[in-house]
Amino acid sequence: MQKFILGKKNQITLISAILIVLAFFSRFALENMDIFHWSLIIASVLGLAPIAIQAYQALKVKVVSIDVLVTIAVTGAFLIQKFEESAIVTFLFLFGAYLEQRTLNKTRSAIKELTEMAPESALKKMENGEFEEVDVDDVDEGDILLVKTGAKVPVDGTVLSGEGYINEASITGESVPVGKTVDSQVYAGTILENGTIQIRADRVGEDTTFGRIIELVEEAQDSKSEAERFIDRFSKYYTPAVLVLGFIVWLISRNVELAITILVLGCPGALVIGVPVSNVAGIGNGARNGVLLKGSEVINDFSKVDTIVFDKTGTLTVGNPEVAEKEFYGENIDEVQAYLASVEKESDHPLAKAVLKDIGETNLFTVEKTEVVKGGGIIAQVNGRRIAVGNVALMEKENVALSEKARRDVERFEQKGNSLVLTAVDGELKVLMGIRDKIRPGVKKDLQKLKRLGVKNLVVLSGDNQGTVDLVARELGLTKAYGHMLPEDKSAFIKKMQAKGHIIAFVGDGVNDSPSLALADIGIAMGSGTDVAIETSDAVLMNSDFSRLPHALGLTKSTARNMKQNIIIAVGVVIILLASLIFSEWMNMSIGMLVHEASILVVILNGMRLLRYRLRGRLA
């Protein structure tokens, strides 16, 4: 029976409204007081039923909820035959709950829209070479899929053949189509606007970028910030306190109507709902604009950030470096390059990929006894020779003597902003490569936006040489730049800044960044970075779109400000209502409940403004 009544709350609200209209029509138009009273009595009983059930369910788990206050107040009004107040209060409470749920559903529209974007089927290549439509859950890694014009990409994958333009708005928040050719990466949930492509499935199901977005946003919307936890604790004690206050007022004044009016006016509805609705709307806006905020707590901390620390490669730079200059020392260079290629094949570092691309096709040898030197490079046995590939520090560790010419070459390469890769064979330097990475387009403009948003310190930490890091810092106008930084050096720097009272955000994309991402007050991962970096971060910039960073900071500042506004509105309304009850004669239970419900709608609508938040145009 309880379930049936609660399931019919909206219908009960409508019937109550009709009965109240009928009551006042009978009184003023028909002058029939019997219909007037009975209509209000039925409206009161009907309206109180779902509220009383919710109050009972709350008391069963030892919670004195708003429903308990309203149930006591309405019952009291009914018993003293204030049927107008009892009917109007129950209707307003139910109607307010209906509007509250409806508007709250709109604030959760972001996650709903994301879920609806999820692909449901795919054209999979079968053993006979034909493509057949299958459920997306039946796609495995390595399967070959066909995507036609207008279709959703079903999984994360790599283009094997064909070309076209894909709308990646569901991932990046940008609706401008992105061109895709062979070897391009594509993401589940994006739409192929023209062309036909065949892709290899690299990630399927919940492991896709889109699947992780939905999972992270759902987790974030269910999480609670410190402010929300405080309000939960506050409400736990505040609501019984209002009940006690009403009882004390009745003991002193013996005025039942005054006591139950206090119960109605003291309802903390707007306070309870104000902060969560701001958080949900802020997280929803981020999800639709390529920014994943992993919870309400992140919003609070992110909004206070005064220092942002960046990794260089793949964060401030494109992360696709190329060999710009090289010098050879000694003979048998082809053999040395074959050794070098064999060793670099063992690494997935961007510099290793640049070296392999430059060397091109060559003979490869079996690599044995590989040793990765953290922050230095790789040492391995190849064809019976000891090969060391890495930076100057590694060469010094290996006691590789650098000639005067080599030292001049190193200095010259560094001054041009190159990252250095030196190769030694059996303790003799053979190859010096200078590798440069391009700065991300638009990064300088985005960094200026961060400064205007209140970030005081912009710092780059890199394992690269100091000359390269200084060059990047000067070009981008960064506050400080530190090179030759090992992962533990980066963590130590963050701890040092935190000890000085700074709120630190760290932006990175690699496995070596994960300790710093976890240690910083806010860890921000580039979306195309490693799984470890994404998992240990607090926020993710999808598709590694750096321009989303100013939007994320501006959004969290607006969300934190919105939460404070809602708290002030909620507390202010309660104070004004109680003051009006004490110092005026016009305040009564019905007016109090009307204002109370209106305040709930005001904080919800205020929070919903965040769904339309855009940084663009404010700081351009």
Q: Where are the domains of the chain?
A: 2-108+219-278+560-612, 120-154+156-203, 294-318+439-544, 322-436
Q: What is the pLDDT of residue 470?
A: 87
Fold of 322-436: Calcium-transporting ATPase, cytoplasmic domain N (3.40.1110)
User: What one-character DSSP code corresponds to residue 317?
Assistant: B
Residues 492-529 have pLDDT tens digits of 899 999 999 999 999 987 556 777 888 888 988 887 65
**pLDDT score at 585:** 77
Average pLDDT estimate for 537-554: 85
Kindly report, residue by residue over 444-462, the tens digit of the pLDDT: 999 999 999 999 999 999 8
Domain covering 120-154+156-203 in this structure, CATH number: 2.70.150.10
pLDDT of 278 higher than 80 = yes
Residues linked to residue 140 through DSSP beta bridges, in sequence order: none
Residues annotated as part of the active site: 311
| pLDDT for res 255 | 81
Coil, helix or strand at residue 476: helix
Mean of per-residue pLDDT scores for the chain: 82
Tell me the backbone φ, ψ of residue 433, rounded to 5 degrees.
-120, 135
Of 247, 246, 248, 240, give the one whose Cα is nearest residue 262: 246
Q: Do 120-154+156-203 and 294-318+439-544 have matching folds?
A: no
Residue 128 to residue 357: CA distance in whole angstroms: 36
Q: Which residue has the tokens 């990929």?
A: 353
Residue 305 pLDDT greater than 80, yes or no: yes
Of the pLDDT bands very low, low, confident and very high (cuts 50, 70, 90), residue 251 is confident
Range in 45-54, 342-351, 397-406, 456-465 with the lowest mean pLDDT: 342-351
Q: Compute the average pLDDT of residues 150-157.
A: 89
Token reading at 553: 């900071």
User: Alpha-carbon distance 114 to 104, whole Å?
Assistant: 17
What digits encode the pLDDT tens for the residues 28-85?
Answer: 888 888 888 899 899 989 988 998 898 888 878 777 677 777 787 778 777 777 787 7
Q: Mean pLDDT, to the nearest integer, of 561-567?
A: 90
Class of domain 294-318+439-544: alpha beta
| Cβ neighbourhood burial of 500 (10 Å; 0-12, 13-18, 19+) | exposed
Indicate whether 363 pLDDT > 60.
Answer: yes
Which range is most confident: 55-69, 173-187, 243-257?
243-257
Pairing type for strands 156-167 and 185-186 reads antiparallel
